[in-house]
Structures are given as structure tokens and as C-alpha cells.
Amino acid sequence: MNIVILAAGQGKRMNSALPKVLHPLAGKPMLGHVLDTIKILGYEVCPCLVLGHGQSAVRDFIDQRQYSVSIARQEEQKGTGHAVLQALPLLSSSETTLILYGDVPLIQAQTLESLLRLAQNGAFAILTQVRQDPTGYGRIIRNLNAEIEGIIEEKDANSEQKQIREINTGIIACATKDLKNWIQQLQPNNAQGEYYLTDIVGLAAKEGVPIRTLHPEFAFEVEGVNSRSQLAQLERVWQEHLANQLLTQGVTLIDPARIDIRGHFQCANDVTIDVGCIFEGTVEIATGVTIGPYCVIKDSKIGVQTQIKAFSHIEGSVVKEMAIIGPYARLRPGTHIDSHAHIGNFVEVKNSHIGLGSKANHLSYVGDADVGQRVNIGAGTITCNYDGVNKHRTTIEDDAFIGSDTQLVAPVTVGKGATIGAGTTLTKNAPAEKLTISRAKQLSVDWQRPQKNKSKD
């Protein structure tokens, strides 16, 4: 099979330096959605991208994400038919060609599979839609037997044709040898002076090629984006769709209109998610987890029955079962929190392992540390992991107790069962089972507080 993706348009109405197809929907460039959907189709196909405006930025994106595509250039945008013309030399004639659009991001693989089935044996398959308001779209012209005769663009339509509510979504599939033949016959004799891809439908009808139509399952699949307002609307529609899928799966969403999923979100049933949470990248949530309001969770895994409390930020981390995180916790990449551990408010953990049942409940920084089991990290504890050049690790063994306001100057080890007195600056290893303390001796002296000068007139 061949796939052509049209993406040469400038997207003027976006008012942006970024090419339209690179504007993100649900955290991923629109073009990325189309390319990922093609991957789901599972054909060994190298889609042909037709690029014009903003080519270099699109190429950078393609390279970065390692998509395999071929590129046809359309330097001047003379219409959708002219765009496909640029791709023709790259298409193998013996197969079917599917035409997609870089700014129609949410077309679903299932719909494309159905369309491709319709296009078997040399038929012409078009995805059409019946719209309440068809303004702006090409209309599907049918004869008295309801057979398709052609497509008329809005700007070329007479008032009677404008009444037609069945519209062309632009997504088609047909035999490539026919496509090549028809595209080369196109003439720009229409209101816009463009080469219309849609004119090939009339040519197919004249040749008696069977023309078959299909409607998408969801209206959002064929919505194109021309402005930021349309992009924002489509984002909401998509998020609503994802939220509904979660509800169906058995996830409780306190408000399905206030959740954002930007990536691959795998959520078990009986998870409760409060309002305003954002899930990015690859996130896996196990059953029984509760997530409080306004949490951001990115590229992380959360274990069974763990509680993530309000305003927590978790990235690149694994949290095992029955842990309690937050409110206001921050877990940065490389963090592993074992089961039953507690990470409390204003605690930042980075690239560290926190053992079973250990607690850091208040105002601490734990970076590059290996913390054993049942350790208690007091309020205001800081691992001083960075000497200005290199990072060093801190080891805190099982059952240690770190008093409040301790600085652990890495590399340093706190032995098993050791106690560190509050306010200690630990620069040498603390032996197991002992109290280690570094603190200036407390003293009291007589002292008169200065008085404010009383000015006399």
C-alpha cells in the first residue's frame, strides 16, 4: 500500500512560526498522531509526506522521532490535486493509495482499515460525513440512484448544491494506477484556479469505477485544524473521548471534563482521579490508587493502592504499592519509592531509592541517595549531593533516624540503626547504632537588648 499525507499548506490562520502540522494536540504534534495511526495499521509502508511551508522544522521532527517517511516537495501550493501530483513518482502503481492530511490528526486506524477494505479490487473509497452545517466543505454529488457523480467545492457550488449535507472529508483510497492517470488529467478551471484532488471523483465515475463511501465512527476523526481555536476545540473533544474510555474501564473521574491525558495512559480499574490532573508520556496506574487534585504525573508507574495527594509532581519515577506521596511532593527522574513509604509536603526526591516503610514527611531534599527500610528522615534534611562539579551518593541504611535540619555531605554513609542529632552537618560516615551529632555547644550569656533612641525636641 501507499500512503500520501498532505502537509504543504502554510496554516496562515494559526499565526505561528511553527508549521501547522507540528502544533501539538494532546501533547503530540498533529502530524505525529497521523504517523502513529499509520503504524497501528501495521502495513510495512513508508508514507509519503508532501511538504511545502516549514519543511525543515517538519524534517527535524521526523528525524527526531525516527519516523520512516519519504518526502515530496510542493514549493507552490496550487491545490490538493497538485500536492498529490508531487507524490506520484514515489508511489508504486500496483498497489492501493490512501490519502491523509497532516492537519486531520484524529483519524482512527479502524476507520482506515474499513476504508481500505472498501477500496479492494480497484474500487474508489471516500470517507464522507453528513453535517448539520456543511459550509466550507466539498459536497458529494449523487445521481437519482444515489450513485456518486462527483464532488463540488463550496466556492463552485450553486445554491441547490450548497443544500447538500453530505461532505467530502478528503480522505480517500483507490488504485494507484488510476490515481496517477486521473491526477495527470486535472485542470485548474474552477473558482479558485486550483488543481482539485476532488475532481478525480468525477473522472472515476465517468470511467464506471465503483465508488463506495463510509462514515467515520466518531465525528472528531475527520475534523481538520485551521486555527488555534479549532485546535483547542478538538483537544477538548479528544480529552472527553479519552475520559469516557476511562469511565467505561472502571476509573472514577471526579470531573471527566477536568483531566488531561497527553501520551500513553494505562490505568487499572477502581482508581480515583480528582480534578485537574495531567498525565504525560507513558504512565501506568495500578488498581486502587487515589490521585488528589492538580497532580502532574509523567513517565511513571504507581503501585496498587498508593495515595498521591494534591499538587504532587511525579516524573520518571516508580512508586510501589500502598505508599503515600504528597501533598506537594516532587519526585524527579530516577526515583524509586518502595511500598508503604511516605513522601510528604515540600519533599523533593531525585535519582534515589527509598526503602520499604521509610518516611520523609516534611521539607527535604533527597538526591542521589540509597535509603534503606524503616528510615525516618526528619524535616529539613538535605543531601548535599553536588560539589559544584560532580554528584555524589548518600547511603542511609535500614532503621536509621535522621534528625531535623541535617545536611548529609555526600559521599557519606549513615550506618544501620544510627541516629543523627538534629542540626548535624554530616561530613564523615556515621557508625551503625550510635548517635552522631555535630553542633556548636549551646551557651547562655547575660544580654541587654538594644533600645530604640528616643529623640528629644
- Pinpoint the alpha helices (H) of 95-227: 109-118, 176-183, 199-206
| Beta carbon nearer to ligand UD1, 74 or 335 | 74
Q: Which of 26, 29, 101, 363 binds ligand UD1 (CB under 6 A)?
A: 101
| Beta carbon nearer to ligand UD1, 172 or 420 | 172
| Beta carbon nearer to Ca ion, 162 or 206 | 162
Applying the rule CB under 6 A, the residues between 203 and 242 that interact with ligand UD1 are: 224
Site string for Ca ion, 211-240 (x = CB under 5 A): -------------x----------------
For residue 146, the minimal CB distance to ligand UD1 (Å) is: 19
For residue 216, the minimal CB distance to ligand UD1 (Å) is: 12
Applying the rule CB under 5 A, the residues between 416 and 435 that interact with Ca ion are: none
The β-bridge partners of 96 are: 175
Q: Decide if 53 is catalytic.
A: no
Residue with cell 485546535: 231
Three-state DSSP string of the chain: CEEEEEECCCCHHHCCCCCHHHCEECCEEHHHHHHHHHHHHCCCCCCEEEEECEHHHHHHHHHHCCCCCEEEECCCCCCHHHHHHHHHHHCCCCCEEEEEECCCCCCCHHHHHHHHHHCHHHCEEEEEEECCCCCCCCEEEECCCCCEEEEECHHHCCCCHHHCCEEEEEEEEEEHHHHHHHHCCCCCCCCCCCCCCCHHHHHHHHCCCCEEEECCCCHHHHCCCCCHHHHHHHHHHHHHHHHHHHHHHCCEECCCCCEEEEEEEEECCCCEECCCEEEEEEEEECCCCEECCCCEEECCEECCCCEECCCCEEECEEECCCCEECCCCEECCCEEECCCCEEEEEEEEECCEECCCCEEEEEEEEECEEECCCCEECCCCEEECECCCCECCEEECCCCEECCCCEEECCEEECCCCEECCCCEECCCECCCCEECCCCCCCCCCCCCCCCCCCCC
Q: Nearest residue by C-beta to ligand UD1?
A: 138
For residue 133, the minimal CB distance to Ca ion (Å) is: 15
- Give 167: exposed, middle or buried? Use CB within 10 Å, 0-12, 13-18, 19+: buried
User: With binding defined as CB under 6 A, does residue 103 bind ligand UD1?
Assistant: yes
Applying the rule CB under 6 A, the residues between 377 and 416 that interact with ligand UD1 are: none
| Beta carbon nearer to ligand UD1, 151 or 371 | 151
Stretch that binds ligand UD1, among 39-47, 95-103, 268-276, 365-373 (CB under 6 A): 95-103
Q: Which of 1, 4, 7, 363 binds ligand UD1 (CB under 6 A)?
A: 7
Number of residues engaging Ca ion in binding (CB under 5 A): 1
Instruction: For residue 102, give the C-alpha cell.
Output: 497532516
| Beta carbon nearer to ligand UD1, 14 or 420 | 14
Q: Which of 4, 9, 234, 376 binds ligand UD1 (CB under 6 A)?
A: 9
Site string for ligand UD1, 121-140 (x = CB under 6 A): ----------------xx--
Q: Which of 35, 105, 106, 153 binds ligand UD1 (CB under 6 A)?
A: 153
| Beta carbon nearer to ligand UD1, 8 or 271 | 8
For residue 15, the minimal CB distance to ligand UD1 (Å) is: 16
| Beta carbon nearer to ligand UD1, 224 or 372 | 224
| Beta carbon nearer to ligand UD1, 28 or 374 | 28
Stretch that binds ligand UD1, among 164-172, 175-183, 321-329, 422-430 (CB under 6 A): 164-172
Q: Find the catalytic residue in 33, 53, 362, 392.
A: 362
Distance separating the N- and C-terminal Cα atoms of the chain: 99
Number of residues engaging ligand UD1 in binding (CB under 6 A): 27
Q: Which of 38, 167, 382, 420 binds ligand UD1 (CB under 6 A)?
A: 167
Instruction: For residue 126, give the C-alpha cell.
Output: 471516500
Task: Give the binding site for Ca ion (CB under 5 A).
Answer: 224
**Residues in the site for ligand UD1, rule: CB under 6 A?**
6-9, 50, 74, 77-80, 82-83, 101-103, 137-138, 151, 153, 167-170, 196-198, 224
Catalytically annotated residues: 362
